[in-house]
Amino acid sequence: MKNLKIATAQFENKSGDKAYNLSVIEKLSARAASQGADVIAFHECSITGYTHAIPYSEQQMLAMAEYVPDGPSVQRLIGIAGKYDITILAGLFEKDKNGRIYKPQVCVDKNGLVAKHRKLHPFINDHINPGNEYVIFDIKGWKCSILICYDNNVIENVRAVKLLGADIVFMPHVTMCTPSTRPGAGFVDPKLWENREADPTSLRQEFDGLKGRAWLMKWLPARAYDNAIYAVFSNPIGMDADQLKNGCSMIIDPFGDIVAECRSFDDEIVIATITPEKLTQAGGYRYINARKPELYGDIIAKPHQSVQKVVWKHKAG
């Protein structure tokens, strides 16, 4: 494998405004390509927006969802990839011919659809169906996979795609700055976003504290470290419907070190050159080779005792 240059992006999407969101995706893809990036990754539902779909009826979801890859948004994405000769990963809502709704992240290049992963653990809207398979695909000789947001919190998913051959896992999210049972969690006041130029310090403290980045750092680097993978994390910045998101899109290497991160309040990209040597130098490579699946394979496969349903609400709710 040769070195690969990957860009990860953050931007403030507009809810339901596919034309606007695709225009930003094009702008940032052009910027990444001009800086030599082979790939650019965008956040979960970056084409459609995300949080606004919480109260949607099935008919509203079907009206927003598109066929993949034949719908207009993915076709536009393929056109952008061809125009700038760059591989692009972005997300939207999907419907199939039977009227079932999914939430995929797609990977496209100038030749068309490369891969599609349907989120395994969707919970934003009850009309979305879960995906039921992992995806492994190739980008310039690198074996890649996609896990969307909550998929990455279930640690078996990351190990599974690694065991299937993935050395890069794209991790599109819309996360942080939401209430939780964990200490320090909660919404960030949108007024801080509106006042970000006059008072960037107060907003940065909220974004980087336990409501945001400090929580992310408790677990995201471990996914890369334990599995000897490159983790490409993408997250929106600014308002997503009525919820404020803190960006900090980043690329983490197999040592669990951040090698590039978005740190502004703007629509932004960062680029990292990833190298194959780290895949075998990292501790996770040795840990995987030391596995004894005959000891705990049946234990890990056991069903759990109970299932906690995850529910998202609007701020006002």
* Mean pLDDT score across all residues of the chain: 96
Share of the chain above pLDDT 70, in %: 96
Tokens 């240059």 found at: 5
Question: What are the DSSP calls for 104-167, one per residue?
Answer: EEEEEETTEEEEEEE-SS--S-TTBPPP----EEEETTEEEEE--GGGGTSHHHHHHHHHTT-S
Options 4.10.910.10, 3.60.110.10, 1.10.357.10, 3.40.50.2300; CATH of 4-300? 3.60.110.10
Q: How many other C-beta atoms lie within 10 A of the C-beta of residue 209?
A: 16
Residue 304 — pLDDT band, cuts 50, 70, 90?
confident
Distance, CA of 224 to CA of 204 (rounded, Å): 25
In the structure encoding, which two tokens stand for residue 62, read together?
């079907």
pTM over cut 0.85? yes
Residue 309 reports pLDDT greater than 70 = no
Produce one character per residue of 106-138: b if its CB has 16 or more CB atoms within 10 Å, e if not.
bbbbeeebbbbbbbbbbbbbebbeebeebbebe
Mean pLDDT of 256-278: 98
Residue 98 reports pLDDT greater than 70 = yes
Mean pLDDT of 177-189: 96
Distance, CA of 262 to CA of 7 (rounded, Å): 10
pLDDT at 317: 38
For residue 265, what is the DSSP state?
Answer: S
For residue 129, the cross-strand partners are none
pLDDT at 305: 73
Mean pLDDT of 298-309: 78
The residue among 179, 261, 194, 176 whose CA lies nearest residue 6 is 261
Sequence ranges of the domains in the chain: 4-300
